[in-house]
Amino acid sequence: MDERVPRRWWTGPFDVERLARTTVEGLCGAADELATSRGFEVTVGTTPELIAASFAAYENLRRDGRAPAVWAELSGFVAARDGWVRLHGNYPHHAAVIREVLGVDGRRGLERAASRWNASDLEEAITAAGGVAVAVRTRTHWEAHPQARAASDAPWSEVSDRGDRPGPGGPADRRPGRGAGHGGFEAADGHERGGRNLLEGVRVLDLTRVIAGPTCSQVLACLGADVLRIDPPQRPEILEQHLSTGMGKRSAEVDLRRDADRVRTLAADADVILTGYRPGALERFGLGTEALEAIAPQAVIVSLSAWGEGGPWGRRIGFDSIVQAATGIAVDCGTADRPGALPVQALDHASGHLMAARVLEALARSRACTIRISLLGAAHQLLSGPPPPEVEPAALGIPRVRLDSAVGTLDLVPPPLLIDGRTIERPVGDYGAADASWRG
């Protein structure tokens, strides 16, 4: 990356553009390596417009012309007695915890109730009850926190090589054809995808939610992989989140409490397994990282966490906005009166693209790897990086593609990859409508 390229997309004290460009350029390099390994002669690239728009894919979604609501009523910053707390109540079960702990129904009652708590006490009370909240900390306060100390030397991504794996498409090399021109997928304009089917024959089991993990699996799906995402029926994904990262995937619902065997069977035949639940959450179903390594020794396994897997918060739930608030990013992005946030959920999107790059690299090299990535690692990248150049940002266009779906007409930002100068969008499948089985 040319370090002389000025910031020109967003405002704020952090060089978010540098983080975005670096991760997407790394993804382009990994896709190029994969193409070479699979005999495709293609050109892989991106544009500033695609990168910037994709880092706000959810906000840029339009369904029948309408934008989604980004934050639920009980999400966001609330003033406590001695500081600020960031709450995450977008999911109904997390919102229910906030209501129960504070004894409130709506936002007005929330503000009054929170003002009677110390910030750290409210953080702990909501977290202990199964909700998501964090006291807003300065950088100095975060650096003294036990979790910051535990993760201070941890890399953003850690790759453990477990040895050779079979051919790029699994034990049977499931591709019906090799090289450019054998994709078998027709684009909406009638042109064969060809080189955009770099991952044809690759099976990806997607056990992730929210933004980062689904961003990764969407890239893999749009490069031709058979991506099967599994969600619990009792806690469905927010529909707009599924739509904004759902290109090319099949979506199925499986209750692990009753049918974990089915998912373990799927894992045994997968080439790539992505997990993004709180560390430890899948262990009781026999789907923890070590169990997956035994079930699927051939697979590239990615474990995504909020805080890293060690330290006192290693098994704590977290989201992009929560990590921002804990680490000092929110304070630096705010004013003297109120904390703020990055212009986009950069920790999520950057981590998702890094996940995809590491997967493509492992497949290109025919390695079975276990890859660990955390949102905290992305935050540390921003916090330790240089400040942005002192130039005014310029407005960039928002490249969207229009797709029909069962829930309306969708205008979506495709993944930030160009193959031979063309975007790699795919149709969005219906949420929860697929069978929990592999194709072919």
Instruction: Dump pLDDT digits (tens) for 111-138.
Output: 999 999 999 999 999 999 999 999 999 9
Question: Can you tell me the mean pLDDT for 231-247?
Answer: 95
Give me 369's structure tokens: 């790897």
pLDDT score for 167: 58
Question: Can you tell me the mean pLDDT for 51-80?
Answer: 96
Q: Answer yes or no: is pLDDT of 181 > 50.
A: no
pLDDT score for 195: 66
Query: To which residue do tokens 């500081």 refer?
Result: 83
Question: What amino acid is encoded at 136 in this protein?
Answer: V
Instruction: Name the burial class of residue 337, with classes exposed (0-12), middle (13-18) and buried (19+) by CB atoms within 10 angstroms of its CB.
Output: exposed
Q: Answer yes or no: is pLDDT of 33 > 70.
A: yes
pLDDT score for 191: 37
Q: How far apart are CA 142 and CA 41, in angstroms?
A: 47
pLDDT score for 108: 85
Q: Answer yes or no: is pLDDT of 357 > 70.
A: yes
pLDDT score for 430: 94
Q: Answer yes or no: is pLDDT of 218 > 70.
A: yes
pLDDT score for 8: 76
| Per-domain residue ranges of the chain | 16-68+154-419, 76-147
Intra-chain end-to-end CA distance of the chain, in Å: 41
In the structure, what pLDDT confidence band is assigned to residue 35 with cuts at 50, 70 and 90? very high
Q: b/e string for 184-220 if b means 16 or more Cβ within 10 A?
A: eeebeeeeebbbbbbbbbbbbbbbbbbbbbbbbbbbb
Give the range among 186-200, 218-232, 370-384 with minimum mean pLDDT: 186-200
Give me 380's structure tokens: 């540390």
Q: Answer yes or no: is pLDDT of 432 > 90.
A: yes
| Domain 16-68+154-419 class, CATH top level | alpha beta
For 226-270, give the DSSP string. EEEEEE-TTSPPPHHHHHHT-BT-EEEE--HHHHHHHHHHHHHT-
Question: Can you tell me the mean pLDDT for 58-80?
Answer: 95
Q: Answer yes or no: is pLDDT of 7 > 80.
A: no
Residues 46 and 418 sit within 8 Å (Cβ to Cβ)? yes
Q: Is the dihedral of CA 423, 429, 431, 432 positive or negative?
A: negative
Q: How far apart are CA 210 and CA 163, in angstroms?
A: 31
Give the range among 2-11, 28-37, 161-170 with minimum mean pLDDT: 2-11
Taking all residues of the chain, what is their mean pLDDT, rounded to a whole number?
91
CA-wise closest residue to 375 among 320, 328, 428: 320
pLDDT score for 174: 53
Q: How far apart are CA 383 and CA 375, in angstroms?
A: 12
In the structure, what pLDDT confidence band is assigned to residue 177 with cuts at 50, 70 and 90? very low
Q: Which tens digits make up the pLDDT trace of 280-303?
A: 999 999 999 999 999 999 999 999
pLDDT score for 434: 95
Q: Which tens digits make up the pLDDT trace of 383-424?
A: 999 999 888 888 899 999 999 999 999 999 999 999 999 999
Q: How far apart are CA 16 and CA 7, in angstroms?
A: 8
Percentage of the chain exceeding pLDDT 90: 87
CA-wise closest residue to 98 among 79, 68, 74: 74
pLDDT score for 321: 97
SS3 92: helix
